[in-house]
Amino acid sequence: MVKILNVVGARPNFMKMAPIIAAINRRSSEVSQTLVHTGQHYDEAMSSVFFGDLRMPEPDITLETRSGTPTRQMARIMPLFEEVLISQQPDWVVVVGDVNSTIACALVASKLNVRIAHVEAGLRSFDRTMPEEINRLLTDQLADLLLTPSPDADANLMREGIPAERIVRVGNVMIDTLFQQLERARNSTVLDELELRPREFAALTLHRPANVDDPESLGRILFAVSAIARELPVIFPAHPRTQARMREFDMVAPVGVRVIDPLGYLDFLQLWSNARMALTDSGGLQEETTALGVPCLTLRNNTERPITIEQGSNRLVGSNPARIICAARKILSGRVSYAGRTPELWDGHAADRIVEELIARSSHKLSGQQHRHRVTAATEKGYGSMKSEHLLADSHCV
């Protein structure tokens, strides 16, 4: 019996872990699992409601470390997680994504010689001012098994010297969750509650420190959004961090921008999937809009998910108002029409491949040869030199 300890800490982790938990349950005669919630996101709107929406079990262990600066948060997580590992003695610690909980728990597992599997490995923005980039880089160096969503991620890891036998492309677990929950989301009444009609509004999310902690950057984005809101309503489920910064900077939402509290997964899926466009600085939403063909404008100068731009569903627009407004007007004019795209292995079965890999490697049945072939093929395509800032939409809009 393979013993797996799954770690979640923040809302993006829940969407990635839910299909893995379900896949393990389907192999319960071979695998046992324990779910640890570090408590990085702990309020009802940012955490608990997602467990119900995603039909995830309640955590077996909750550390309740709460918020704080990144270093203080990690300092609280690590000794508590160390106690859990010593008690549980798992074969694998599975961490997902790039939040503070991910690197904190990976560090502890590495010190205690517990094997680490990193889901969503290899993503790079090439911007080390992003806290998530440091978390990604360090977690991938520590991980024994790097489970990637796309060829560019394979190439990034190879370029950083990760041995090919540790890299396995499994696909995108976010898309597993999207496909699994799409029909349930159709039963959401959020559009009726907000008195919205499909394709007659835009959806906005904004939470990254580079955008919301800098009053000039936040002001530029809100200025651009105000221009878009003159042409169609903008619905803004505002992250608590963003709401706090707007109060601190004495900023109010522009006319036509409707600020609402954060939504649960199903309500938010129903909202953005029916939007005319999404404006976001989220990584996951770039992927989800790609799969469903919703035009997405990413309010960043780089992305760790360049495949979403290659597929044609996403545009980098940064915080430059002229670029944002121009790209939005192209969508509104009908000159941009995106179809849903599903890159290789974004088929709803990534979690099953992850569990199969964990079982196989636990019993030493897999040589890794097939994975070396996959990575080499990805590198030959030239993904290794792709940097997303080269794909900014300014040449079309400024």
Residue 152: CA atoms inside 13 Å, Cβ hemisphere, count?
20
Mark whether 207 is an active-site residue: yes
Helices 283-292 and 265-273 cross at an angle (nearest 10°) of 50
Neighbours of 345 (CB within 10 A): 19
* Residue whose entry in the numeric block shows the structure tokens 């517990």: 114
Question: DSSP for 268-308?
Answer: HHHHHHTSSEEEE--HHHHHHHHHHT--EEE-SS--S-THH
Pairing of strands 115-119, 145-148: parallel
Among residues 163, 21, 12, 3, which one has the least CA distance to residue 98? 12
Contact 257, 225 (CB under 8 A): yes
DSSP tag of 159: H
DSSP tag of 68: -
Neighbours of 372 (CB within 10 A): 15
> How distant, in Å, are the alpha carbons of 85, 114, 213, 396 from that of 91?
10, 7, 40, 51
Give the pair of three-digit tokens for residue 293.
Answer: 């063909």
Catalytic residue, from 207, 349, 373, 396: name it: 207
User: Which residues are the active-site residues?
Assistant: 207
